[in-house]
Amino acid sequence: MYDVVHVNSTYDKGGAGIIAKNLHCSLLRNGLRSLYIFGYNGTFHNNYDESSVGLSNPYEIKLNSYFYRLTTSVLFGRTNHLKVVDYVRSSDITHLHNIHSFFVDEIKLLDSIPYGARIVWTMHDEWLLTGRCAITYGCDGYMKRCQYCPHTGFYPASLKRNYEERFLRKLEFLQNHARLNIVVQSNYLKQKLMSSPLSEYVIDKIVVIPNGIDKFDYSESGTVLEKYGLQPGYVLFVSDYLTYSKGFDRLIEISSALPETRFVVVGKSKKINAPIPNNIKILGRIPNTDVRSLYYYADSFLFLSRHDNYPTTILEAQDTCCPIIAVNTGAVAEMLEGYPNSFVMKEYDPTIIQSFVRKFNGYHERSKTSMLKYENTTEGMAKAYLDLYQMINNYE
C-alpha cells in the first residue's frame, strides 16, 4: 500500500519531470511511501530509486508519436493505463502530473480511474483545458470545446480536426471524481481555468501551489567553465528545444546586435534557417547540474519564449540572483514580482533587451545570494503538498 502514487510522462526530463521527481524524493525523505510511475527516461540513465517504475522507452515513444498523429492513441503500451490503475487502487492518493506524452492512452487512463479515488492533478501545462494541445499558444478554440482544430501541428501533433469528444471525456472525469483537487502554480492559470468552459466543474477544486526547485550548491560550479571551454561573464539562454516558440530567433537577433557580447545557449537544436552569429555558443542538452552552474557565472539571463506557463528556468536563475529580462507570457510577471534586477516586457522589444544586457555587463563578479522565495523551494512546495494530502485524507 502506498501513501502517494505519482504518474508523469518522464523521469526527470523537462520542468514537469524535475518538479515531479523532486516532490517524490521529498516525500520519501519525509517517511511517506511514495511511488513514482513514469513513461520514459529521455537521458537513458537507469539510476532510479527503488520506488520508481518506468513503463516505456524513448524508442517506443518516438513510434507512438507517429501513430498518435493518425489515431490519437498509442501503439506500444496500449495496456499501460491498466498497469497505472492497479497502482492507483493500492494507494491512498493518486497524483497525476503530465500524462499526455505517448506512453499511455491518456483518455483511457482517465476513464479507468475509480470514481472514489483521491486525486491530485497538477497542471504543469494547459492540456486539461483543451481537447488535445498541451499549450494553447494563444488559440481560443478550447472555448468552443475544440470542435475544430486549426493547429494540428501543436504538440502533441495529430491530423484530426475535431477533438470535442476528447474534451467532453475530460469534462466527465471532472464531474465524476468528487475527490479531485486540481493544482495550478499561479493565479494566472487559475484565472484561465475559471474563464474556460471547465469553470463550473473546477470552481471548488482548484488549489494554487507554486512550483519549487532545490537550492543548488555552487561551491564546485567552477568546473563547468573548464568543461565547456567558457569564460565567466556571458548572457545565458536556456530551453529544452531551440525553437521559434521558445524565442530562439529573437536571441539570434539580439546577439547579432551585440557582437562584442558572448552568449551561451543550452538546448537541443532543431532546423534553424537563420545563420548563427559567432558570439553564440550552443552547448546542446547538458546535465541539469551543469545548467544550474552556468547561471552562477552569467551576467544576465534572457527569457524570450512566446508561450509558456511557469518556466523552471526563471526559478533556476533566481537561485543565483542572476539579472533576468523576460517577455510577459504565462505566469512570468507573477514569478518576477518583487525580484530585483529584473524587467518584464509587455511585448518583445530588442532595444530594451540590448540596454538591459549592457547595464548588467560584469554582474557575475558580484557576490550572490539565492533570491528564491520559500514557496518556490522544494521544501516549501513539498510542505504545501503535504498539507493538501493531509486535508484530502481527513476529508470524508
What pLDDT shows up at residue 332?
97
CA-based angle 153:157:160, to the nearest 5? 90
pLDDT of residue 270: 74
The model's pLDDT over 249-285, given as tens digits with 9 standing for 90+, comes to 999 999 999 999 999 999 988 767 778 999 999 999 9
Encode pLDDT of 179-216 as tens digits. 999 999 999 999 999 999 999 999 999 999 999 999 99
- Cβ within 8 Å of residue 23, ≥6 positions away: 6, 95, 378, 381, 382, 385
Q: Over the stretch 307-351, which tens digit does the pLDDT of each residue have?
A: 999 999 999 999 999 999 999 999 999 999 999 999 999 999 999
Rounded to 5°, angle at Cα 177 from 171 and 179: 135
- Average pLDDT, integer, range 286-293: 94
pLDDT of res. 395: 67
Question: Model confidence over 11-58: pLDDT tens digits?
Answer: 888 889 889 999 999 999 999 999 999 998 865 456 677 899 999 988
Residues 320, 293: Cα–Cα separation, whole Å: 9
| Domains assigned to the chain | 2-213+377-394 (3.40.50.2000), 223-371 (3.40.50.2000)
At residue 14, the pLDDT reads 80
Q: Give the rounded distance of the alpha carbon of 298 from its chain centre.
A: 23
Percentage of residues in the chain having pLDDT higher than 90 = 84
Task: Find how far residue 285's CA is from the centre of its chain.
Answer: 16
In which band, very low, low, confident or very high, does the pLDDT at 137 lie, cut at 50, 70 and 90? confident
